Amino acid sequence: MCGIFGYVGKQNASKVLIHWLEKLEYRGYDSAWFVVWNTSWLQLVKSVGKVSYLTAKSENTLVADETFSYWIAHTRWATHGWVTENNCHPHYSENEKIYLVHNGIIENYKELKDSLVAKWYKFYSETDSEVVAKLIEDSWEWNLLKTVEKVLPTLEWAYAFLFISKENPDEIIGVKYWSPLVFWYSNDKKDLYFSSDTQALAWVVENIIFLDDWELVHIKSSDYTIKSEWKLVSKSAEKIDVASLKAEKWDFKHFMLKEIFEQPKVLNDVFRWRIDFENLKLNKAGSFEELDKFEFDKVVFVACGTSYHAWWLGTYWLQDLAGMDSSVEVASEYEYKNIRVEAKTLYVFISQSGETADSIEPLKYLKSKWAHTFWIVNVVGSTISRLTDSWMFTRAGTEVWVASTKAFTAQICTILILALYFWEKNWNLWRQKYRQIIQELQKIPGIIDELLKESEEIRKVAQEIKDYKQFFFLWRHLELAVAYESSLKFKEISYLNSQALPSWELKHGSLALVDKDFPSVIFMPSDFLYEKNLSSIQEVKARNGKILAVSNKKIDSATWNVIIPETIEETYPFITAIAGQLIAYHTADLLWRDIDKPRNLAKSVTVK
């Protein structure tokens, strides 16, 4: 959610800056701006829309061989104000001497703005960020660092900022509170970088300094100091997993399709760390050894969006397999509940990015109450992964574009492994079933490969459904998570309306919507509720509704079939979820949607 980038050095801005912005584009692509300067003059380039639009503009504006020593840049995901050039960053003061880029939300911006308006300041944008530029001007202490340190305590809530000032032309200040910011410098200190995340920097560096809340980096000429809560500190750089952060599209039409096709490999990577297939048992080193030290009788899962859907499977698996009580909480609401921290409850947070503000807030609260927290995160070095000591990485590799696919599959796999761990720990019965699940997991990557070969067949079905405007996505039992997740994927990239619903709930009201123009997609592998799903199909058909059945069996009563390969009941969600991803992908592609950059979305939701 908004990417910010800063650089001090001698590289040619017009050639390399766009490259960095492209790497951050997945964080927001409503608009992009940058400002470059070389102490004597300043150049600002802005563009509404994708970074590629900015490329053309910058080529016209910047002299090809011009070297700028300082730049700050931004890709925007709009929170305050429409997608217009005025609302794009960098924002600047009225005297046009102070410039900043911002990621986050200043919650008290209205009150601050009112006080500045009362002093006759004029505002050109609707953003909260412009207020901070004007506030710096208003509080000016003849020195950028002093003024920033004076203004920051008056701001409420989330930010990562980069500041520059014409008054102190050889300085950049980077500061973080809640929103992510990382920093890096080369050994000879000829190149210094700031970025919202490690992904953009992974193309040039192997070690990064992760800034914590209230930390500020002050670059002057080509030297820097770091302060924590205004006191000087020294911080060392940490190694990042460069290979897993670099992502390329190869020959795939979209990043999303590439990531869908990567799923067999992703699962093999998860298994390599966690399962000993030879001895049909889990590899307990690390995370599980930590959990072994405590007794738990309940697991509460907390997450948002796709990660929240993954948890639904966790509750079924934990209850069905491990016989353990469990519940799911949507993170954005959880913090507003009167949370009763239970000593024997494990609070598990799951996040692809590890930066989701809605999840970080309740995690911090629970930690402050000494609750047993545990996280499952994909991005190494992310904020959530730095907050708690007990964890498991999902190891899906970098998920570049917005709609989550392989991260979901890696999450459900990790959750199933967690359920198997508790099953073994608490119950230790029914070994045959336990072994059967592990044996089947080993086959799942191959089974997914079989399904992926049917991608073009699924495209033919997508061709049939693409002109309908609204859909039910129906489920029972384990397919709950799959139906919710498939419905979200479908909405996100095709912009067609869909609602996930338990198939037996149709008759309690929702059937009112079903007619020949309102089809339903039903996820119904041949599990113990298969016959009941067949009855639901009849209910829909009796109202003239059309049905797309996703099943390992051909269903004659359905209008269209997506036939998936066979597995066992417990592992069908791995297969049906990927069928759902392909249905969404092909439908969106046939509708000419911008699949890798769907409208109004951003990959990493760092605002509340």
Residues in touch with ligand F6R (CB under 6 A)? 304-307, 351-353, 356, 359, 403-404, 488, 492, 605
**Quick count: other Cβ atoms within 10 Å of Cβ 473?**
28
* Cβ proximity to ligand F6R, 93 vs 359, nearer residue: 359
* Cβ proximity to ligand F6R, 209 vs 304, nearer residue: 304
**What three-state secondary structure class fits 602?**
coil
Contact partners, residue 504, CB within 8 Å, separation at least 6: 476, 532, 536
* Cβ proximity to ligand F6R, 379 vs 514, nearer residue: 379
Output the smallest distance, CB 380 to ligand F6R, in A.
Answer: 13
The per-type count for the chain, helices as H runs and strands as E runs, is: 19, 27
Output the smallest distance, CB 468 to ligand F6R, in A.
Answer: 22
**Quick count: other Cβ atoms within 10 Å of Cβ 50?**
18
For residues 473 and 484, give the distance between their C-alpha atoms in angstroms, rounded to a whole number. 7
Sheet holding 98-103, edge to edge: 91-92, 98-103, 159-165, 171-177, 215-220, 223-228, 231-233
Q: Is 413 a catalytic residue?
A: no
Output the smallest distance, CB 337 to ligand F6R, in A.
Answer: 19
Catalytic-labelled residue, pool 546, 597, 603, 608:
603
Full DSSP string of 305-357? HHHHHHHHHHHHHHHHTS--EEEEEEHHHHTTS-----TTEEEEEEESSS--H
* Cβ proximity to ligand F6R, 72 vs 260, nearer residue: 260
Contact partners, residue 327, CB within 8 Å, separation at least 6: 298, 300, 301, 315
Output the smallest distance, CB 490 to ligand F6R, in A.
Answer: 11
User: Environment class of residue 565 by beta-carbon count within 10 Å: exposed (0-12), middle (13-18) or buried (19+)?
Assistant: middle
For residues 531 and 319, give the distance between their C-alpha atoms in angstroms, rounded to a whole number. 23
Output the smallest distance, CB 402 to ligand F6R, in A.
Answer: 6
* Cβ proximity to ligand F6R, 114 vs 333, nearer residue: 333
Q: Which residue is nearest to ligand F6R (CB)?
A: 305
For residues 358 and 303, give the distance between their C-alpha atoms in angstroms, rounded to a whole number. 8
* Cβ proximity to ligand F6R, 405 vs 533, nearer residue: 405
Q: Is 88 a catalytic residue?
A: no
For residues 450 and 412, give the distance between their C-alpha atoms in angstroms, rounded to a whole number. 20
Give the number of C-alpha atoms closer than 13 A to the C-alpha of residue 341, restricted to the C-beta side: 16
Angle at 309 between CA 322 and CA 398, to 5 degrees: 105
Catalytic-labelled residue, pool 2, 88, 304, 413:
2
Output the smallest distance, CB 373 to ligand F6R, in A.
Answer: 15
Which residues have a catalytic role annotated?
A: 2, 603
